[in-house]
Amino acid sequence: MSDMIEIAARALGLVDLTNLNDDCTAEDITKLCARTVTDHGSVAAVCVWPRFVAQAAKELTGTGVKVATVVNFPAGGEDTEAVIAETRQAIADGADEVDLVMPYKAFVSGRKGFAEEQIIRIRAVIPEGVLLKVILETGEIKDPLLIHAASNLAINAGADFIKTSTGKVAVNATLEAAEIMLTAIEEARRDDGERVIGFKPAGGIKTAEDAAAYLAVADRIMGHNWVSAHTFRFGASGLLDSLISTIEGQEIVDHSHHGY
């Protein structure tokens, strides 16, 4: 059990505590932000709808917890101008991190240039110091070779992180997708040791055991010293309670009524 406690403590600081529920309210954001600083340390970030960025940034002042938001979410649409406007507004409102859904349907249909151009254009409006995380939607891409190609495309287009999923489709984070994406990151590291590219599994990661499985893949592919909040995040809503319960040696109570 002590191993699980150690893993849970390690995972806690890697959580992007998320509320992307369609019915999310300002009150929900206040509750979310109140959970970020625990007796066992702080989470890395909250991840919220763009309309709540300013509120979250205000409520997290002085905590060191980052504010992440989502753009082109969840559909990965093709109106790049609209995504640019959405991104600019989120940054003006105080977003530290932007999670962009790449136009994965265009990518899968063979329009790789379009997908790449959208990422490049969003990257261009993101200032120094703000992270760009690109969501591939691996459960919809499906084909392992295409997931690898999408990882490479996002990395080459300027992603700081590549993220598995929106949490809004049938298949979200999987260990198979994690393996492919981390391999692409490892290959990129061999080509350019200076640049840091992170990995974020999201959707369906609920327990300390789930977290442990993803950390094990990262340790195996990237080495034991690689994982930190600069290189690895979990996108999750229910995971934090499970991690705290594990650290405190309590029975797990599932407080998350939402599937994210």
Mean pLDDT of 132-154: 98
Question: Considering the chain, what percentage of its residues have pLDDT values greater than 90?
Answer: 93
pTM: predicted TM-score of the whole model, two decimal places: 0.95
**Catalytic residue ranges:** 99, 163, 200
pLDDT digits (tens, 9 = 90+) for 8-53: 999 999 999 999 999 999 999 999 999 999 999 999 999 999 999 9
Mean pLDDT of 203-216: 98
74 upstream amide cis, omega within 30 of 0: yes
Residues whose CB falls within 8 Å of the CB of residue 100, separated by 6 or more in sequence, listed in order: 70, 71, 72, 83, 87, 119, 122, 132, 133, 134, 135
Does position 177 have pLDDT exceeding 60, yes or no?
Answer: yes
Q: Supply the pLDDT for residue 260.
A: 47
Residue 256 has pLDDT above 90, yes or no: no
User: What CA–CA distances, in Å, run from 60 to 47, 52, 53, 151?
Assistant: 12, 12, 10, 32
d(CA 13, CA 15): 6
Residue 251 binned pLDDT confidence (cut-offs 50, 70, 90): low
Given a contact cutoff of 8 angstroms between Cβ atoms, the answer to whether 55 and 34 are in contact is no
What structural domains and CATH numbers belong to the chain? 2-247 (3.20.20.70)
